[in-house]
């Protein structure tokens, strides 16, 4: 299955279905990350709460992003100590990341244009959100290639030859 999803379809399909479906691991790659809130019944909760709940349930979460998040995100992050204390939550910063992808258990993935923000993922009012597009897939060939690429990015395979290394706050290869 490879399915194009657009605009307001993204939030329920990716944030509402794909993310909570993870049982072993959830990998998120985004250029920009903000303090996004998600619908939970009649109220909304920080997306970081969703990630914290996954970690508490034993799901390994990787978050790769290109720049430091803003003060609201950092304040919400501090409300979920499991994201700091658990070995199941890993976060790295790479200024070259422009990819936007969400991978659940290596079985399903979303790849598209939206950043992990309310405007990108469709959590904002229809007249305020971005125009976004992406594909959901469970195609094995897509997933193998994407998982291998994201894993190489996460472990720093590209760091030694990166020409933006002088602007990188924390090279992933440790040098």
User: Is the CB of residue 18 less than 8 Å from the CB of residue 108?
Assistant: yes
What distance in Å separates the CA atoms of residue 67 and residue 32, rounded to the nearest whole number? 7
Contacts of 66 (CB under 8 A, 6+ apart): 30, 31, 32, 93, 94, 95, 96, 97, 98
Q: Is 122 helix (H, G, I), strand (E, B) or coil?
A: coil
Cβ of 155: how many Cβ atoms within 10 Å? 12
In whole angstroms, give the CA distance from residue 129 to residue 101: 18
Architecture of the 2-167 domain: 2-Layer Sandwich (3.30)
Domain ranges of the chain: 2-167
Per-residue pLDDT tens for 2-26? 999 999 999 999 999 999 999 999 9
End-to-end Cα separation, the chain, in angstroms: 41
| Calpha distance 35→166 (Å, rounded) | 28
pLDDT digits (tens, 9 = 90+) for 103-152: 999 999 999 999 998 888 977 777 888 999 999 999 999 999 999 999 99
Residue 161 has pLDDT above 60, yes or no: yes
Beta-carbon contacts of 114 under 8 Å, excluding residues fewer than 6 positions away, are: 10, 100, 120, 121, 122, 130, 132, 134
In the structure, what pLDDT confidence band is assigned to residue 160 with cuts at 50, 70 and 90?
Answer: confident
The three-state (H, E, C) secondary structure of 102-114, written as one string: EEECCCEEEEECC
Report residue 37 as tokens.
């809130």
């Amino acid at each position: 299955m490879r399915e194009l999803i657009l605009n307001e379809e993204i939030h329920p399909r990716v944030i509402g279905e794909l993310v909570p479906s993870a049982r072993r691991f959830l990998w998120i790659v985004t250029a920009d990350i903000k303090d996004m809130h998600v619908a939970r019944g009649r109220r909304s909760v920080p997306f970081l709460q969703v990630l914290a709940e996954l970690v508490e349930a034993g799901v390994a979460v990787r978050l790769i992003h290109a720049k430091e998040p803003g003060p609201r995100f950092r304040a919400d992050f501090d409300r979920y100590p499991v994201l700091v204390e658990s070995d199941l939550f890993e976060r790295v910063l790479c200024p070259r990341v422009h990819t936007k992808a969400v991978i659940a258990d290596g079985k399903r993935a979303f790849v598209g244009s939206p950043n992990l923000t309310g405007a990108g993922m469709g959590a904002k009012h229809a007249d305020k959100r971005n125009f976004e597009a992406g594909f959901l897939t469970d195609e094995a060939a897509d997933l193998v290639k994407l998982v291998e690429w994201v894993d190489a990015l996460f472990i720093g395979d590209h760091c030694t030859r990166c020409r933006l290394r002088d602007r990188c706050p924390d090279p992933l290869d440790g040098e």
